[in-house]
Amino acid sequence: MGKADGPFLAMVLSKYKRTKKISLILAAVILVTLGTIVAVFIGYRQVSEAPGLLLSSIKDGAKLSLGKIRQTSTRDGKKEWSLEADSAHYIDTENKVVLKRLFVTLYLEDHGEMHLDADNGILHTDTNDIEFSGDVVIKNEDYHLKTRSLSYEHKRRIIFTSDPVHISGDSTKIYADSLTYNLKNNNIVLTGNVAATISKDLAAAQRKDTRGQPGP
């Protein structure tokens, strides 16, 4: 029995050592994976909770792709716009961030807000100008605007498009070939084949108001 036990014990010890080695390797892989997940989560929280870190962090690389991001632009302590996107691809050589599925809030001088959705966008990091394309929709309390593309010029605080626009409200629909809207003074300019339709109820109310006004 003693002689037979020697090879048997050696075989058992050899298997035990191999099993222990495999377990250590698996444990190391699990720890590395968990560490990566935690690091990514912390990085995402930092970008989400402090949007201003976004551009400063991605400028370190020539090209970098990120998941869901947030960014806010301020001037003289006032928020001018905030942006959320499902994905962002930063191109350092062109000073731009290519965005997918984005939602933007534009803050107006009268403390109102406009909300913009678009399939695609390009944020120019050197100017803070933004280009939107693909089912662009703007909403505020009174109207919805739809168009194929739209541009935001940060310095002058205007949005504009040379594509046809459709503006709809509770009782009014307006069509035009192009649009320019000044966010500072709420001035809107529509050009090219401008047409409007008014609901019968609103038209009747306007006629009633006109008849009720005293003559000159």
Distance CA 166, CA 145 (A): 6
Closest CA to 48 of 25, 66, 23: 66
Domain match, 40 and 140 both: no
The pLDDT value recorded for residue 140 is: 87
**Collapsing DSSP states into helix, strand and coil, what is residue 210?**
helix
Both 186 and 160 in one domain: the answer is yes
The token duo for 74 is: 């301020």
For residues 206 and 168, membership in a common domain is answered with yes
Position 54 in a domain: no
Assigned domain for 183 exists: yes
- Mean pLDDT, contiguous 10-residue spans, the chain (216 residues): 51 53 60 52 41 48 68 84 90 89 90 92 92 94 92 94 92 92 91 84 52 53
Q: Are residues 81 and 117 in the same domain?
A: yes
Does 89 share its domain with 185? Answer: yes
Range of the domain at 6: 1-49
- Return d(Cα 155, Cα 131) in angstroms, integer: 14
161 and 191 belong to one structural domain: yes
pTM, two decimals, is 0.64
Element (H, E) at 160: strand 158-161
Q: Do 75 and 133 share a domain, yes or no?
A: yes
> Do 172 and 71 share a structural domain?
yes
Q: Could you tell me if 82 and 128 lie in one domain?
A: yes
Q: Is residue 189 part of a domain?
A: yes
At 18 the pLDDT is: 58
Total structural domains within the chain: 2
The verdict on residue 216 lying in a domain is no
Q: What is the pLDDT of residue 92?
A: 82
Residues 45 and 67 in one domain: no
Question: What is the model's pLDDT at position 43?
Answer: 44
Residue 57 inside a domain? The answer is no
